[in-house]
A and B are shown apart, each in its own frame.
Chain A
């Protein structure tokens, strides 16, 4: 018996049309791989969509592909992730579930304040699947705290737990700042833990648990991820006589070529020349070209580098798409505020770093601003009235300001 496991598709996330297409084609690749490899079912461990309300175009394509799976007798089981989950608890997965295209396996009942999850049984194979959604700000942490683990442990058979949460013990170094829960929050006794959320691969077998697996994103979600991962990833998991064998399958649709342009201590004209020469020697045909500029220009300004001409050259040589990143490029003549092309948090931190010196209300401005941003991002807790929510935020605001006043 074989099943497939994908996560973090983030369909609809890219602004550039060609990358949107690559993103959607990755999803189509995964669907085709499921059919070709004759999997019994597909697990989507959160963030199928990039937002809780995806565009009609994206939805239309997803429905078409899921219908294709259904027509081939392949079942789809999913949970919502932090991106495709709205604070009201509604998710587009409900629409797809009502259309019979997938099953959201986060189901259960509340008994004395404890959450008792119910298994969804994949009838042809008898595999039992349940899971929990991921939410922004790690709000799903309270679900794990209230989880009735005994009933899950007692259940017999092959069991899969689907989740969308970063695990503290397995966070890669570059994602140390991402909020996470310790592994011990996962209920024990499952054969396979189908995870998502962290855009990095993981296959582990911690003591007391079955395989804890994260495939990484189905397609990279930003410039830095494209540089690092180049392609997306999915997993084909074989279950043979109760033995589980996860196998990675690279979702490689197009070659990625990374070009680094070192501009340090050079004049803009010199960079133009070197760039032009470098491009001449590159084979870029049908490739996604990532150009990263770095360093401090000795003379000339950043926009004196004729990127358009360089990119037109690349396109004329048949490049599929060209992306640039100038976050590490500076000029002595004209310093402008630059931000990393990284996730929102990085941008916030960088902006705060660049502007906090203008302020002098608190001693540690940066820490206060960071904490304030986190506080003001807090969502309403389910069941909380608007008044209670306002009071809670105001009270936490007072506490925060009070705490920093005399530091």
Chain B
């Protein structure tokens, strides 16, 4: 095995490895210090220059060279000047058993690069979420990285990256693989209409898409899609929490209408029906106006009319159908690209509340163990989990972030601004998939709430390229560097393997 360096100094968290002159060690690379009984896997956290010459002499010699006084040639330059890798022990492997390192590798150990054979403990769980290939520096190893689906999903996943670093690609890869490898149900609120594949390749290209991927859209449905129409009677006052901003008396009016008119409460507000409790006219007017705006309602000749996705006549089963599909372990994608932010959140809130209600009841009846985990994928997560949003009042997504795991409901929160999410909620997200993040404040918020101590990984995170990620997860033994495959490549491969349709039963020319 080729030796790439020697362990020469340091302490437990900061080991110094001198790089062999004819090799190149990369930032983030995985290395191995081996003894007869065990292997210790190291991860390179930083790189630095080392030299036998003093700084003063180096400055002088470089001056001679730059000013053309003399052509500075070092004697034994490969011995005198070198690269130092700053590494950290991340795992000890002994007899294929993996544990957290508790001791230093042997002083002066030979250091070699990691191989696939060293990483055989990365195995596929029975129900797993696929994240990508293990990466050592920029080299991609043929080792698949999975996390246990039920555990990881119920304990929430955060995907964080700047725009263009591959967040949506990762989410699509995860969902595509989840169709075959998990029993979990996924609700995807899709503000860019990019998951199903209306405009580009999407999850509809999966061979089981017709039965496993359910797509609701308010726009003209493409083949395979369902129309997103929700009956007004499905809505309850609590669904509006985090959607519209109302004063206490306005909330009280909303609740009073619901108590009096039950599922006809919205119509009652719009048609200004009477209430037993007295409210100021101005209060009722504000409530009416806000609901009219968000639900696209109007009153014409004493009759309620609707224009948006909320309907007076149809869509009574939509929420139930969506929840049923989720319980079957299917992926339900809601195209919210043409909806306002508040309507998108309202729909998400409506479905999430219903799922939460069902799962609480299953837990009470002892049926929860037989139910699949349900995960809610939210793009631009601070819209519902941001500090400013939550300071104005709680919502179902916050409740799920805090309590969901007890009821097998988790969030997959996707964001480029994790610092906007309160720290205690970030800490509740036990799997963090950290992709390229250039802003230091965002990196820090992730580091401070990660499942592993990744305080020294800041340079590594800053250097993450498109599609590269660092995964910190309670259910992985180490902060794991990965390379996410391109979703388009996966689809292309599927299409190559697709069995052509012979259309039996259709008389062909």
- Are the C-beta atoms of A107 and B507 separated by less than 8 Å? yes
| Stretch from A139-147, A221-229, A240-248, A343-351 contacting the other chain | A139-147
- With A182-B225, A185-B223: A405-B126 Cβ-Cβ less than 8 Å: yes
CB of A342 within 8 Å of the partner chain:
no
Task: Please list 21 pairs of residues, one from A and one from B, whose beta carbons are closer than 8 Å in the complex, sorted by A's number.
Answer: A106-B506, A108-B507, A113-B501, A133-B505, A142-B210, A142-B501, A145-B223, A168-B226, A169-B227, A181-B210, A182-B221, A184-B222, A185-B223, A185-B224, A208-B220, A364-B369, A364-B370, A382-B502, A403-B127, A403-B181, A406-B127
Taking CB as reference atom, which chain A residue is nearest B369?
A363
Interfacial chain B residues near A124, Cβ < 8 Å? none
Cα–Cα, bound, A376→B180 (Å): 17
Report B-chain residues with C-beta under 8 Å of the C-beta of A88: 504
Total contacting residues, chain A, CB less than 8 A: 56
Name the CB-closest residue of A to B210: A141
- In the complex, the answer to whether B210 meets A115 with C-beta atoms within 8 Å is no
Known: A146-B501, A383-B500, A406-B126. A107 touches B183 (CB 8 A): no
Indicate if the CB atoms of A145 and B370 lie closer than 8 Å: no
Instruction: Choose among A147, A181, A402 the residue that contacts B126 (Cβ–Cβ < 8 A).
Output: A402
Interface mask (A61-99 → B, CB under 8 Å = 1, otherwise 0): 000000000000000000110000101110100000000
Q: Is the CB of A80 within 8 A of B505?
A: yes
Say how far B102's CB is from chain A's closest CB, in angstroms.
29
Partner of B500 from the list A113, A141, A149 (CB cut-off 8 Å) is A113
Q: Which residue of B lies closest to A379 (CB)?
A: B504
**B225/A115 in contact, CB under 8 A:** no
* Other A-B pairs beyond A89-B504, A367-B370, A383-B499, 20, CB < 8 Å: A80-B505, A106-B505, A107-B508, A108-B507, A108-B508, A109-B509, A132-B505, A133-B505, A135-B505, A141-B211, A143-B501, A145-B210, A184-B221, A184-B227, A185-B223, A383-B501, A388-B499, A402-B126, A403-B126, A404-B183
Least Cβ distance of B207 to chain A in Å?
A: 9
| Interface presence of A50 (CB below 8 A) | no
User: A361 an interface residue at 8 Å Cβ cutoff?
Assistant: no
Q: A169-B227, A184-B225, A185-B223 are in contact. Are A91 and B505 (CB under 8 A)?
A: yes
Q: A52 to nearest B CB, angstroms?
A: 11
The residue in chain B whose Cβ has the minimal distance to the Cβ of A80 is B505
Tell me whether B499 and A407 are in contact (CB under 8 A). Answer: no
CB distance from B327 to the nearest CB of A (A): 11
A108, A147, A366 interface centre (most CB from chain B within 10 Å):
A108
Binary B-proximity of A104-138 (CB < 8 A = 1, otherwise 0): 10111110010101100000000000001101001
When distances are taken between beta carbons in the complex, the residues of chain A under 8 Å from B501 are 113, 115, 142-143, 146, 382-383
> Contacts A145-B210, A382-B501, A403-B126 known; A184 to B507 CB distance under 8 Å?
no
Q: Are A149 and B506 within 8 A (Cβ)?
A: no
**Given A113-B500, A405-B126; A149-B505 close (CB under 8 Å):** no
Contact present for A108 and B506 (CB under 8 Å): yes
- Among B181, B225, B499, the most chain A Cβ lie within 10 Å of the Cβ of B499
Is B395 an interface position by the 8 A CB rule? no
For residue B286, give the distance in angstroms from its CB to the closest CB of chain A.
34
Specify the chain A residue showing the minimal Cβ separation from B125.
Answer: A406
The distance from the CB of A349 to the nearest CB of chain B, in whole angstroms, is 15
- Which residues of B are found within 8 Å of A363, using beta-carbon distances? 369-370
Q: Determine whether B379 belongs to the interface, using a CB cutoff of 8 Å to chain A.
A: no
Residues in B whose Cβ lies below 8 Å from that of A309: none
Number of interface residues of B (CB under 8 A): 33
The 5 closest A-B pairs by CB, nearest first: A89-B504, A382-B502, A184-B221, A133-B505, A109-B509
**CB neighbours of A16 from chain B (8 A):** none
- For residue A168, which residue of chain B has the nearest CB? B226
A168 to B275, alpha carbons, bound, how many Å? 39
Cα A142 to Cα B224 with chains together (Å): 10
CB distance from A152 to the nearest CB of B (A): 12
Which of A133, A140, A184, A382 contacts B223, CB < 8 Å? Answer: A184
A113 to B180, alpha carbons, bound, how many Å?
Answer: 25
Shortest Cβ gap from B133 to chain A (Å): 21
**Which residues of chain A come closer than 8 Å to B375, judged between CB atoms?**
none
Minimum CB–CB distance for A45 against chain B, Å:
14
CB closest chain-A residue, reference B221: A184
Task: Find chain B residues with CB under 8 A from A147 CB.
Answer: 223
> A282 CA to B221 CA in the complex, in Å?
54
- Tell me whether A143 and B506 are in contact (CB under 8 A): yes
> Which residues from B are CB-within-8-Å of A108?
503, 506-509
Q: Which residues of B contact A135 (CB under 8 A)?
A: 504-505
**How many angstroms from the CA of A384 to the CA of B198 in the assembled complex?**
29
- Rounded to whole angstroms, the CA-CA distance of A363 and B370 in the bound complex is 8
A172-206 interface code vs B (CB 8 A; 1 in, 0 out): 00001001011111000000000000000000000
Q: Tell me, in angstroms, the Cα distance from A183 to B503 when the chains sit together.
A: 20
- Does A381 interact with chain B (Cβ within 8 Å)? yes
Interface residues of A in 300-349 (CB under 8 A from B): none
A361-385 to B contact mask, C-beta < 8 Å, 1/0: 0011011000000000000011110
- The reply on B150 being an interface residue by CB < 8 A is yes
Cα(A118)–Cα(B506), bound, Å: 10
Note all chain A residues with C-beta closer than 8 A to B506. Answer: 106-108, 115, 117, 132-133, 143
How many angstroms between the C-alpha atoms of A146 and B205 in the bound complex?
12
Q: Check A145 against B220 for contact (C-beta < 8 Å).
A: no
Shortest Cβ gap from A114 to chain B (Å): 10
- B residues in contact with A407, CB < 8 Å: 126-127, 150, 183
Given known contacts A107-B506, A143-B501, A382-B504, A403 and B183 CB-to-CB distance under 8 angstroms? yes
* Contact A115 to B507, CB < 8 A, known contacts A147-B223, A364-B370: no
Q: Complex: how many Å from CA A381 to CA B150?
A: 32
Q: How far is the CB of A194 from chain B (nearest CB, A)?
A: 17
Q: B223 — which chain A residues lie within 8 A by C-beta?
A: 144-145, 147, 149, 184-185
Known contacts: A381-B499, A406-B126. The answer to whether A85 contacts B183 by CB under 8 A is no
Is B182 at the interface (CB under 8 A from chain A)?
A: yes
- Chain B residues within 8 Å of A133, by CB: 505-506
Report whether A143 and B500 are in contact in the complex, using a CB–CB cutoff of 8 Å. no
Residues of B within 8 Å of A106, CB to CB, are 505-507
A143 touches B126 (CB 8 A): no
B315 CB to closest chain A CB (Å) equals: 10
Q: Complex formed: what's the CA distance from A146 to B181 in Å?
A: 26
- Among B111-152, those with CB < 8 Å from A are 125-127, 150
Closest to B324 in A: A176
Closest A residue by C-beta to B182: A403
B127, B210, B321, B324: most-surrounded residue (chain A CB, <10 A): B210
Which residue from chain B places its CB closest to the CB of A81 in the assembled complex? B505
Q: Is A399 an interface residue (CB 8 A)?
A: yes
A contact residues around B181 at 8 Å (CB): 399, 403
- Does the CB pair A85–B182 fall under 8 Å? no
Complex: A185 Cα to B215 Cα, angstroms: 12
A117 to B324, CA, bound (A): 34
Contact B182 A145 (CB under 8 A): no
**What separation, in Å, do the CA atoms of A405 and B500 have in the docked complex?**
33
CA distance A179 to B214 in the complex (A): 13
Q: Give Cα A366 to B371, complex, Å.
A: 12
